[in-house]
Chains A and B, each alone.
Chain A
Amino acid sequence: MTDALLAITVLWGFVFIYAVMATMDFGAGFWSMVYINRDKTTATNVANRYLSPTWEVTNTFIVALVVALYSLFPKATYTLGTILIIPGSAILLLLALRSAFLVFSNIATEYRKPLTYISGITGIIIPGILISVLPITHGQAIDHVDGVANLDLASLFTSPNTYAFIGFAISSTLFLSSLLLADYSKVSREMHAYKVYLKDGQIFGPLSLAMAFLIMLTLRNEAPWLYDRMIADLPLLWLSIGFFLIAGLGLFLPSFADKGVRGMPRLAVVATILQYLVASYVYGKAHLPYIIYPEITIQEAFTDPNSFRAVFTTYIVGFLILFPGFFYFWRLFMNDKQYLRQVGEEKE
């Protein structure tokens, strides 16, 4: 594997982790808003309990992603920075409002409702704009004036492909987050909330699949080079659909472990994440070697070998140092059954 390929794989890994974490984060914020008026179910509390300790960690991943991009592929920075100024600024503005009001809503309890509405709504728009970076890198909406690349917003937002991506981002955000929250409430033994989230998963699952098909359909006209290369990996695309169906089983079948309970949310969560993994691998592989089609490739944009070695060393050392921290964090907030149940009971 060449160094450039290794670097783009690391980057892809970061994108994938951030995509999963952000999906859960923004989705949980949205559900916490949707169910805020239902006093009977504890759905909002479950969402908040997940969200409060995790949003900061999730946010750090987006910073890590940007840093990795310009440290590994510095020569793409100039073009990327220029074409992303509008969508990038939009994301930053929404993200700032969203994070701040999320924190405020937990502190200023009397104003919780309006504050939660601000963070919930801004939060659900963000994935839509984030994902629009993908169709931008396909290159159709980029104009060249005097050798400088510029984004043509009009052409970006008249393309059905862009909307397919946006629709997919929002529906899959709601899908994966509802699965995760279903699992989370089941572990906390909050069956009311569990049923609510399971039902949401049943609605948004098929919707996400439809959106994914829509992406492929529109991609065929708008970026045939990408479409053809993705179709070349057809077996993997089938595999991805297979994982999706397993997730469906996890949503509709009665549970093997707990008698009388419908659904195995843990299975659905894992299957869905695997589905994302496979699908995004196919997409990423087809996208290579282009960072921005057709002018910026990973080889051209790649950093200097000395810098790459140094950066890569810090990845390894950083991972070794951080891993115990992440593990402890996970155990404390996501896997401490006693804690989750106890909090669940207190709230009831």
Chain B
Amino acid sequence: MSADSTVAPRQRRPLRLAEVFLLLLALAGGMGGYAMVGLSIRDELPDSFWWRSALLAATALVAHLVLRFRAPWSDQVILPAVVLLNGIGLSMIWRLEISGASGMAPADAAGNMTASLLGAVVAFTLLWLLRDHRWLRRYTYIFMLVGLLLVSLPLIPGLGEQINGARIWISVGGFSLQPAEFAKIALAVFFAGYLVVNRDTLALAGPKVLGLHLPRLSDLGPIMLVWGVSLVILVFQRDLGTSLLFFGLFVAMLYQATARSSWIVLGMTLFAVGAVSAARLFPHVGARIDVWLHPLDAEQYDREVGGSFQLVQGMFSMANGGLFGTGWGEGRPFQIPYAYSDFIFAALGEELGLTGLAAILLTYLLIVQRGFKSALTVRDGFGKLLAAGLAFVMALQIFVVVGGITRIIPLTGLTLPFMAQGGSSLLANWIVIALLLRISDSARRPSDLPVRGQVSHEREPVLVGAGAGPDDGTPVAGTPAVGSPSPVPDDGTPAAGTALPRRSVSERDGGGPTGTTGSSDPTEQLDPTDPESPRGGDRP
């Protein structure tokens, strides 16, 4: 009876038509911007319009095909959103290039396009080779070492380069790289791999102080070490934006793993202490805060180094853009220093207006939302933590950049993902996208778990109410009286149900803002299918 009564649902591979449609719109957005810049400034289409557009379209097509073959269930919105942002960013960089934007290095649209293509190639090669994101979990501690190494690379004499007071670059064979961008990914993988193994001890063992549940130091040790080392190095490198990013990643992933709000409280406190002392100790941080609070003071505006000139130019730019913008190529965004990298958001604000900026921010929001959605849906704990961590770090980076430009928070030097000029940032963010797509594929793939659709007849479920024949002697150990909490076989053994109140409580935990902890029963079930993963966690 049970064999033929269970019908396997149809498992059709999605055609990904929504992605095709959105990709066409995204390409139209990128190419349209490029064309309009040419038409507006030079009254003709840019020389390289057709082959560059063809290159962008070919990249999108190849990416789409890779997804169709290797990750057919993955999310259909992420790739078009990235293509659109990339196209708009490249158009703006080219627009600034032909009107001679000022800055350290000149705006370089061609170079940036090469970097973006390279990023796409690396990302989709990764997606092709990495069949299962849980493979990364085996190398949890390798990723820790890689992350620390990458963070400390710029401090090595001869390799590191100091630009504008920040020592965050390395130069390899004529190319400059910003290794912290890649360290971000490595550390996210490490945190996810470490926390998925240790989150229970972190959450449950340890003293309670002032109503806050503190973890034991020995459980926290490795993470604190990594976090402390990366922060110290970043302070020495004078890159406070990136250290803020790492700190946020650290706190957010701890919270996602343990669902203890004490982490948020602790994190905010530590952050406040750190921010105040950094402002006191480091003159360049203090100057940033002065600039943030009083940008229009003549003293700040006229200061030669570290003044508010750039910030105020950005504000003028966005004000000039107004609600609908001046249109591609019609504004004067090239007057902002570093308009093509740090301040590309303000440049876009001038030419596309608030309406355009809102659309761009919503596009970012879509990517982040899809990341969190994958985190909620995916069945293994490692994937949940990794997707949530990567999505969070992208959201935080966008907030820090846009908040800095719009004067919500002090300005820190971070790049807007996919838009700002910078090869490392593009490459690293493409890799993040590849990982998110891989995780979303396994999140949305119909599961082959044995639990699916199984109808059990042998086990007797919860007995309720008066008329349900309560005395037919079920083999359930300690059939709970309604209302009394009993040990729940959460490990998936088909033992019994539980009393009702318990159920609703555990459900509420699972439906919390992160959702990464409560649903741990299907989560851990996948692990036996991957014999390597538990061992990966134990590796010293």
A pairs with B: no
Interface residues of chain B, those whose CB is within 8 Å of chain A, are none
